[in-house]
Structure 1
Amino acid sequence: MYNLDIVTIVVIAANTIISFKGFDDRLFFERYKFNVGNIRRGDQVRMISSGFLHADIKHLIFNMFTLFFFAHPVIDKLGNFNFVLIYFASLIFGNLLSLYFHKDEYWYSAIGASGAVTGVLYSAILLDPNLSINFIPGYLFGIGYLLFSIYGMKKRIGNIGHDAHFGGAIGGYVITLILMPSLFQTDLLYIGLLAIPIIILFVLHKTGKLN
């Protein structure tokens, strides 16, 4: 699980270089961060560029360490290209969900690779549901993490993009199942269990109980 693949090195390097540029250049940071108002006015590059900016070194290190731990299981099972596909799809899914939930908050801004990294994490769990995360089976960690994300979205806990995390997980979940449909034959129970938080979010939103 701890192998460092060349594609992981490239992704970590890109995040590090762009984040440090943002640390030193406030205009650059403001130009490429996720901002609802600017995106709705057509500045779509922010949907991707914001995922390579971070608030500070601690934020960057946390995301990159998480990526380091869970990238290899995905690369090992699906290959480099599909890993990159999952990474960027999860980044976009995360920002799309943020945009959806904050579409009328033109001031809302966010940064960080958390959506992409959460998508990779969820993909790794789907590929190996019993993957141990802090001595907890992966599928239980994944379910608990997304349930907490729903709670965080509902209560607006902390300065954290819970919706981006959730959207990223959906991206990792969906793209992994598209890439490896054989999981429906071998791990249908876990697919169903990991879908529970997604269904709960959908129901809460439809019934107006999320806010």
Structure 2
Amino acid sequence: MPNIDIATLVIIAANVLISIKGFNDHYFFDKYKFNIAAIKKGEQLRMATSGFLHADFNHLLFNMLTLYFFAPVVVMYVGEVKFVAIYLASLLLGSLLSFYFHKDEPYYSAIGASGAVTGILYAAILFEPSMSLYLFFVPIPIPAWLFGVAYLLYSIYGMKSRAGNIGHDAHFGGAIAGYIMALVFMPTVLTNDLWIVLLLAVPIVLLFVLHKLGKI
């Protein structure tokens, strides 16, 4: 079991407390969720607060467990302050990318820490690309770098097809922030694992090429 640091503990506690408040208070939930029309009216705070609300306990549990397992990797490499910076930047870029892709859909709403958590996951992958990930539906360990590439490609598919009730664009925005900030905070990754850095950049470049071509 990973040792949990105070920064991760505070973030998890904030997510749990705010989410529980949202579960029991529909006005609070509606006031702070991500919503295009409300943000366009000047309620930009929703781009941050929505990242601490969740749809239900399972949604909350999945995000917090993922954070619990991967946060220690990031903290070990860059420390708690930079870990928090990556988390918040990933949350905000996830919201910004969602706003960009859905700006003409006034009723579009979203909640969840998935963008922020995905940013932490991708930073962890860059720091430890050879670590193995175990997924519930796959009986063998998967190299972290392979999971990272596959997940971003799946996110592109999800954005294109609107597959499921999932904020794929927020996940992608979070991944981009985690990717960039990991390189900024630890540039030695570029020399130690350049091929991993380049490989993880492929889906990011592909997304913007497809968007430029009007495919997404």
Match runs of 1:64-143 below 5 Å? 64-134=64-134, 135-143=141-149
Distance (Å, rounded) in 1 between the aligned partners of 2:58 and 2:88: 22
Question: What amino acid is the match of 1:6?
Answer: I
TM-score, reference length from structure 2: 0.96
Uncovered stretches (5+) of structure 2, i.e. residues with no partner? 135-140
1:58 aligned residue: 58
Q: Which amino acid aligns with 1:168?
A: G
| Alignment of 1:152 onto 2:158 | yes
- The 1-side partners of 2:29 and 2:146 are apart by 36
Residue identity opposite 1:28 in structure 2:
F
For 1:3 and 1:146, locate their aligned partners in 2 and report how far apart those are by CA, in whole Å: 28
In 1: Cα distance, 2:182 partner to 2:44 partner: 25
Counterpart for residue 209 of structure 1: 215
Instruction: Tell me the TM-score normalized by structure 1.
Output: 0.98
Q: For 2:190, give the aligned amino acid.
A: F
> Percent sequence identity over matched residues?
62
1:170 equivalent among 176, 180, 184:
176
Match for 2:153: what amino acid? L
Count matched residues: 210
Q: Report what 1:47 is aligned to.
A: 47
- CA deviation string 1:9-65 (max 9, x = no partner): 111000000000000100000000000111111111101000000000000000000
Q: Secondary structure at the match of 1:158?
A: coil
CA RMSD between the two structures: 0.8
Structure 1 residue runs without a partner (length 5+): none
Residues in 2 aligned to 1:36 and 1:131: alpha-carbon distance in whole angstroms: 38
